[in-house]
Amino acid sequence: MTKLQIPYGSRLIDVDTAGKLLEREGGIDRSKTQPKDRDVERIRHALQNPIGTKKLREIVDRKKDAKIVIVVDDHTREAPTVKMLDALTEEIGIEHKEIRQVILLVACGTHTAPTEEDLKRILGAYMNTYASQLNLEIHDCDAKDQVFVGTTSRGTPVMLNRSYIEADVKILTGDITLHYYAGFGGGRKSILPGVSSRETIRKNHALLLDDRAKTANIKDNPVHLDMTEAASFAPPDFVINTVADSSGNLVDAYAGEMNSVLLRGAGVMKKLSSIETDLFDVLVVSAGGFPKDRNLYQATKAIENCYRTVVPGGTLILVAECREGIGDSYFEEWMNKYTTYEDAADAIRTNFVLGGHKAFYMRKTMKRVHLAIVSELDTQMLNRWGITGYKSLHEALKKEIDFNEQLKIGIVKKGLDTLLVNVSNQEKSV
């Protein structure tokens, strides 16, 4: 028996079953190589060695009395925002009397606005400083004063946050992570969807039906290419992005020109997160704990990263607390309304709605495998959707596995940060 613990909300829960733990080796040993105070040093080093641009201080100094906007990730991400802000404010030379020239813009896309508690977690002391100066802004994708900057070659009308557009110096921060249809987070995603209008995001995300719009692919990915083109209409002057391992340890930081930074970081992220494996009869996947499993909307990304390594007709057990419920009303509505993959795909083609795309991915997964979820969600609701709901992992393992020694079982502790790659010839995409 393999005895281990996997993340669930803000705690760890025991899992006792004979299974193979799928985890990247060679992670960072903080006690020997990477003390926490080295993180800011790595970010500073990136700022001093930008890729494809001048140093940020030179860019700012060229524009006297420049209005600066710094775009930061919202509460659904785990970027080391405070550490990046520490390095950025030091590099730019911001003093208290100049703070009114700088806007911190929280890139929410279509997510609900962060609470005060969320902002404290994201921004630390910067939250009080900037909020008191009235230049902390939460992006609203439905705001009436957004600025039209052009239409992409794929037909996406690009409307962006006015504060972002009107800034003399535009700086993006964030982390480069796996993303299930943009390929990777980071870079251009801080603009689209980060500070874009709902219609802009809706049009872009409708491109996800293309088979090339998948995790860890940006080469010919239409969602990524459309995002990049949209960002080119109002490009950032400087980008700082970080890459972390599955334990949240900062691996490195990259700064400079948006596309160059993304390419460099995405290559590192792909190597960090990818695990080659054969197929499993049963796969137990933790989303990675809070905030990654704060709701089902976020946690489903772990399913997308892993389900292709389950044999057709096998079982994937998602372990995600979902303390905030489903996380999106359209996601819930579409799961109730569209009961098959084909129905959901038709709805995407004819009437794409943000949030509904999550139902499309769920139904796509369920076309291949049996899906079970261990969570705080209403199990009767999950059952109506065709998903077996459980309140405990012990119960799920007992019912779904029944400790059958003949089954090949895999266990993933951090599904949002792990990409399982099937190396056998049995894989068939839906």
Q: Residue 346 sits in a domain of what CATH number?
A: 3.90.226.30
User: Do 243 and 338 have their domain in common?
Assistant: no
User: Do 343 and 264 have their domain in common?
Assistant: no
Cβ(224)–Cβ(218) below 8 Å:
yes
Predicted confidence (pLDDT) per residue in 325-341, tens digit: 999 999 999 999 999 99
**Cα(89)–Cα(92) distance, rounded to whole angstroms?**
5
Average the pLDDT over each of 123-132, 186-195, 342-351, 376-385 and give the range with the smallest value: 123-132
Statement: residue 17 has pLDDT above 90: no
Quickly state the pLDDT bin for 97 (edges 50, 70, 90).
very low
User: Do 327 and 250 have their domain in common?
Assistant: no
Predicted confidence (pLDDT) per residue in 69-96, tens digit: 999 999 888 899 999 999 998 998 765 4
Average the pLDDT over each of 42-56, 178-192, 344-358 and give the range with the smallest value: 344-358
Query: Would 14 be classed as within a structural domain?
Result: yes
Encoded tokens for 53: 């641009």
Domain boundary among 272, 292, 312: 272
Encoded tokens for 75: 């509460």
**Cα(151)–Cα(138) distance, rounded to whole angstroms?**
25
Statement: residue 361 has pLDDT above 70: yes
Query: Would 428 be classed as within a structural domain?
Result: no
Average pLDDT estimate for 241-253: 91
User: Do 404 and 327 have their domain in common?
Assistant: yes
| Cβ-based neighbours of 323, under 8 Å, separated by 6 or more | 9, 290, 294, 295, 376
Average pLDDT estimate for 309-313: 96
pLDDT at 397 (0 to 100): 92
Query: Would 429 be classed as within a structural domain?
Result: no
pLDDT at 20 (0 to 100): 83
User: Do 162 and 293 have their domain in common?
Assistant: no
User: Do 224 and 289 have their domain in common?
Assistant: no
Average pLDDT estimate for 286-296: 94
Statement: residue 107 has pLDDT above 80: yes
Encoded tokens for 329: 């009303």
Average pLDDT estimate for 175-189: 94
Q: Using DSSP bridges, classify how beta strands 68-73 and 102-107 pair: parallel, antiparallel or unpaired.
A: parallel
pLDDT at 31 (0 to 100): 36
Statement: residue 376 has pLDDT above 60: yes
pLDDT at 426 (0 to 100): 41
pLDDT at 352 (0 to 100): 85
3-state helix, strand, coil in the chain (%, to 5): 40, 25, 40
Query: Would 19 be classed as within a structural domain?
Result: yes
- Here the CATH number for the domain that contains residue 169 is 3.40.50.11440
β strands within 167-227, DSSP E? 169-175, 178-179, 183-184
Domain boundary among 272, 302, 336: 272
Torsion from C-alpha of 176, 50, 64, 231, nearest 10 degrees: -40
**Cα(417)–Cα(390) distance, rounded to whole angstroms?**
24
pLDDT at 18 (0 to 100): 67
Query: Would 427 be classed as within a structural domain?
Result: no
DSSP H or E segment with residue 238? strand 238-244
Statement: residue 344 has pLDDT above 80: yes
Sign of the four-CA dihedral 138, 139, 144, 149: positive
Query: Would 33 be classed as within a structural domain?
Result: no
Determine phi and psi for 123, rounding to 5 degrees: -110, -15
**Cα(385)–Cα(375) distance, rounded to whole angstroms?**
15
Domain boundary among 272, 294, 312: 272
Q: Give Dmax over CA atoms of the chain in angstroms.
A: 70
Q: DSSP assignment, residue 187?
A: G
Average pLDDT estimate for 195-201: 96
User: Do 255 and 125 have their domain in common?
Assistant: yes
Higher-confidence position of 380 and 426: 380
Average pLDDT estimate for 33-55: 86
Q: Half-sphere exposure of 398 toward its Cβ, with a 13 Å CA cutoff? A: 6
Task: Please state the domain count of the chain.
Answer: 2
Domain residues for the domain of 305 are 2-25+278-422
β strands within 79-220, DSSP E? 102-107, 136-138, 147-151, 157-160, 169-175, 178-179, 183-184
Query: Would 31 be classed as within a structural domain?
Result: no
User: Do 411 and 336 have their domain in common?
Assistant: yes
User: Do 416 and 328 have their domain in common?
Assistant: yes
Predicted confidence (pLDDT) per residue in 153-175, tens digit: 999 999 999 999 999 999 999 99
User: Do 16 and 42 have their domain in common?
Assistant: no
Please list, residue by residue across 55-80, b when 16 or more beta carbons sit within 10 angstroms of its beta carbon and e when fewer do.
bbeebbeeeeebbbbbbbbbbbbbbb
User: Do 339 and 408 have their domain in common?
Assistant: yes
Statement: residue 246 has pLDDT above 90: no
User: Do 84 and 110 have their domain in common?
Assistant: yes
Quickly state the pLDDT bin for 36 (edges 50, 70, 90).
low
Average pLDDT estimate for 235-258: 94
Query: Would 32 be classed as within a structural domain?
Result: no
Encoded tokens for 114: 């962060």
Average the pLDDT over each of 13-17, 242-246, 403-407 and give the range with the smallest value: 403-407
